[in-house]
């Protein structure tokens, strides 16, 4: 744009470019004062001071110069122009001529560049991480304040120096060179490593190396360092805590295994010989005494089983086994098991079962029985008068005829539970406050374990009750699969098979004589020849001499234990066909895996009943079968854990 003003400051020339830049037409602007139209008010005072001198002499500070300044458009918008001023004398009077270029966009771009430069400069300097920019020879070009803080050097001390000479410890120099080469090859690398300060202190850092490119050309290397000493200490603390927790868990498992062994081993004799004596003693008073021994022994056994079950559940090592199960039969079994106890207390025991429940559903029968035994046992314990009802309810599964919703409930007219204690009763080792422990006893484990077992089955265990009137505990199992016809063939029918063996010889190896005597007592009418050994050494001698078809060996014997016995037998080719059965007081997943690895064929957990022993032997020895109805005692408790 070209603009000319006369000696009074009026605009006398205005070309089309001026119209485009300022928005005024030539007709609108000619004759108007320059400072009242396109000059911002902040320039008015300076203009009025300089203009008289210019009109008189044609001179001024701005004449002959190029200035960047702001002016106004017709619409009031301020723009930035580049102005070149010159003086022209016409008719003996000085005129001002201005050549104008609109540089608003250019200035805006320059300001943005400055803003971004300031922004990134601030990011670089104020970053909490240490940053170094290196040339392609690994010499330091620039570092930020974070680098000074982390490594202790000033900027002046490091510029131009090789970075590895300053902060890479000697033992890591080769690694540092390798990292730099990777970045120089165009890779971005991340490492957790060590670097040293100006004062020789070695510490953990995370290092990120990045190539800086302009177009296709590699121009520099960019390295950031973060002190991760605290993170490493925390990781080390976590590892140590994990190791301590694992050690504590290992010691807990070892303690529980040892405790189980020490309790189950004598319990094996107590319950086993009680079972044998019950077959022989006919005197009513003595049978009552035997029943007391048996009942007390099973109470102790239930306690140790509860503790072991809880431990397995908490460790995630308890596995459910779903088999075809008759839920109606389970309910009726519960009525038979608790009939005498309820009768002795003068309680009425009722059962409620629908007609439309399929014969067999896929359930964990052992654990379901365990839950019901706990719930009914509590109902009997806390009910002094009235009744107890055990029931089964069914419903159609959602959108799937092959599944059903099942509810089992235990309802009593007992003392009930205060509302504020309902959640507490499902806690581990928790009981209702103020409860007479001398009268009711218990450990506070039964309901905790029952709820966890039901949840593992995918269901819920809930309670509704009224204090002083009774409680209703309900097990709800949604979507229980109906057993297929071929699965039903393997289901429990409420009958057992009496086994008669064909004169096999077995060897019982246990350092505890009562355990050996018990096995002999259980098998005295089963046509089996029983040999005995009280040590691993004697076992090997007898196996070599008599070649028994099966060896029943205790795992935890002093001296040569059951593991070594198995290893010795399996390593003698002439004995390789011998069946090996492990005697154990408890079993964990690790032991179960090891049993297979060590060549054992089966497992028998103490304490065990005669039926359990005979059933196990029948899986490995020739025999005949006789089908008979199952006894009450055989349904009384879930199998040992």
pLDDT tens readout for residues 342-371: 999 999 999 999 888 888 999 998 889 889
Is 76 part of a structural domain of the chain?
Answer: yes
pLDDT, tens digit (0-9, with 9 covering 90-100), for 369-380:
889 998 999 999
Are 89 and 206 in a shared domain?
no
In this predicted structure, the answer to whether residue 441 has a pLDDT above a threshold of 50 is no
Query: Of 488, 513, 533, which closes a domain?
Result: 488
CA 492-494-496 angle, 5° bins: 85
Mean pLDDT of 476-500: 68
pLDDT, tens digit (0-9, with 9 covering 90-100), for 554-576:
998 899 999 999 999 999 999 88
Q: Percent of the chain beyond pLDDT 70? A: 90
Task: Determine the distance from the C-alpha atom of residue 608 to the mean position of all C-alpha atoms in its chain, rounded to a whole number.
Answer: 37
Are 623 and 594 in a shared domain?
yes
Are 98 and 182 in a shared domain?
no
Are 291 and 329 in a shared domain?
no
Is residue 550 within 8 A of residue 621, CB to CB? The reply is yes
Could you give the maximum distance between any two Cα atoms of the chain, in Å? 154
Among the residue ranges 66-75, 119-128, 136-145, 439-448, the one predicted with the least confidence is 439-448
Find, among 398, 432, 430, the residue nearest to 418 by Cα. 432
DSSP tag of 138: S
Q: Report the first-to-last Cα separation within the chain, whole angstroms.
A: 100
The strand pairing partners of 623, in sequence order, are 501
Q: How many domains would you assign to the chain?
A: 5
Are 43 and 21 in a shared domain?
yes
Domain that holds residue 26: 2-107
The strand pairing partners of 11, in sequence order, are 5
Are 471 and 396 in a shared domain?
yes
Is 482 part of a structural domain of the chain?
Answer: yes
Confidence at residue 183, expressed as pLDDT on a 0 to 100 scale: 85
Gap between the Cα atoms of 174 and 562, Å rounded: 54
Among the residue ranges 22-31, 52-61, 221-230, 615-624, the one predicted with the least confidence is 52-61
Residues in CB range of 63: below 8 A, 6 or more apart: 54, 85, 86, 87
Task: Indicate the average pLDDT of the chain.
Answer: 85
Are 380 and 461 in a shared domain?
yes
Is 574 part of a structural domain of the chain?
Answer: yes
Are 341 and 481 in a shared domain?
yes
Confidence at residue 439, expressed as pLDDT on a 0 to 100 scale: 45
Gap between the Cα atoms of 211 and 180, Å rounded: 10
The DSSP annotation for 440-499 comes to: H---S-HHHHHHHHHHHTT-EEEEEEETTTEEEEEEEEEEEEBPPHHHHTTS--SEEEEE
Is residue 591 within 8 A of residue 610, CB to CB? The reply is no
Are 512 and 625 in a shared domain?
yes
Q: Percent of the chain beyond pLDDT 90? A: 42
């Amino acid at each position: 744009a070209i603009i000319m003003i006369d000696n009074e400051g009026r605009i006398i020339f205005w070309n089309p470019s001026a119209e485009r830049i300022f928005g005024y037409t030539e007709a609108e602007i000619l004759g108007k004062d320059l400072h009242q139209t396109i000059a911002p008010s902040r320039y008015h005072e300076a203009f009025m001071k300089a203009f008289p001198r210019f009109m008189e002499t044609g001179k001024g500070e701005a004449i002959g110069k190029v200035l960047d300044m702001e002016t106004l458009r017709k619409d009031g918008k301020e723009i930035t122009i580049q102005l070149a001023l010159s003086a022209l004398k016409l008719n003996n009077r000085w005129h001002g001529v201005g050549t104008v270029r609109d540089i608003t966009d250019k200035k805006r771009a320059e300001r943005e560049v400055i803003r971004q430069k300031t922004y990134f400069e601030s990011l670089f300097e104020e970053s909490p991480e240490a940053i170094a920019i290196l040339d392609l020879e690994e010499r330091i070009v620039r570092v930020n304040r974070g680098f000074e803080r982390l490594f202790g050097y000033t900027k002046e001390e490091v510029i131009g120096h090789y970075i590895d000479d300053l902060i890479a410890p000697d033992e890591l120099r080769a690694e540092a060179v390798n990292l730099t080469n990777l970045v120089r090859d165009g890779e971005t690398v991340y490492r957790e490593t060590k670097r040293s300060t100006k004062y020789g202190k070695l510490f953990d850092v995370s290092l990120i190396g990045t190539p800086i490119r302009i177009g296709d050309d590699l121009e520099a290397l960019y390295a950031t360092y973060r002190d991760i000493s605290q993170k490493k200490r925390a990781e080390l603390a976590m590892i140590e805590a994990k190791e301590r927790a694992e050690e504590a868990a290992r010691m807990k498992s070892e303690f529980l295994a040892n405790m189980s062994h020490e309790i189950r081993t004598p319990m094996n004799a107590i319950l086993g010989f009680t079972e044998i004596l019950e077959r022989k003693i006919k005197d009513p008073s003595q049978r009552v005494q035997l029943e007391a021994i048996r009942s007390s022994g099973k109470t102790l056994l239930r306690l140790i089983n509860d503790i072991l079950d809880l431990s397995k559940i908490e460790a995630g090592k308890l596995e459910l086994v779903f088999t075809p199960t008759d839920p109606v039969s389970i309910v009726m079994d519960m009525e038979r098991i608790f009939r005498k106890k309820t009768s002795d207390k003068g309680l009425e025991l009722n059962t409620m079962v629908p007609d439309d429940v399929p014969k067999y559903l896929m359930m964990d029968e052992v654990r379901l029985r365990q839950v019901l035994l706990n719930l009914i046992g509590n109902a009997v314990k806390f009910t002094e008068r009235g009744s107890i009802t055990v029931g089964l309810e069914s419903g159609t599964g959602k959108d799937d005829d092959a599944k059903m919703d099942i509810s089992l409930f235990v309802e009593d007219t007992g003392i009930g539970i205060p509302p504020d204690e309902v959640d507490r009763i499902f806690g581990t080792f928790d009981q209702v406050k103020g409860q007479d422990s001398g009268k009711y006893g218990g450990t506070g484990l039964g309901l905790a374990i029952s709820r966890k077992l039901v949840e593992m089955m995918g269901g819920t265990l809930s309670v509704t009750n009224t204090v002083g009137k009774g409680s209703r505990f309900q097990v709800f199992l949604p979507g229980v699969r109906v057993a297929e016809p071929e699965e039903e063939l393997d289901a429990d029918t409420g009958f057992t098979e009496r086994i008669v063996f064909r004169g096999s010889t077995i060897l019982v190896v246990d350092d505890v004589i009562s355990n050996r005597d018990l096995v002999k007592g259980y098998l005295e009418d089963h046509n089996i020849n029983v040999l005995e050994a009280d040590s691993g050494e004697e076992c090997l001698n007898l196996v070599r001499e008599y070649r028994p078809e099966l060896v029943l060996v205790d795992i935890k014997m002093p001296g040569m234990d059951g593991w070594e016995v198995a290893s010795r037998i399996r390593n003698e080719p002439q004995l390789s066909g011998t069946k090996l059965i492990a005697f154990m007081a408890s079993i964990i997943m690790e032991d179960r895996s090891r049993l297979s690895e060590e060549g054992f064929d089966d497992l028998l957990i103490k304490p065990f009943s005669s039926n359990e022993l005979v059933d196990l032997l029948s899986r490995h020895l020739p025999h005949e079968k006789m089908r008979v109805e199952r006894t009450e005692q055989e349904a009384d408790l879930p199998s040992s854990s």
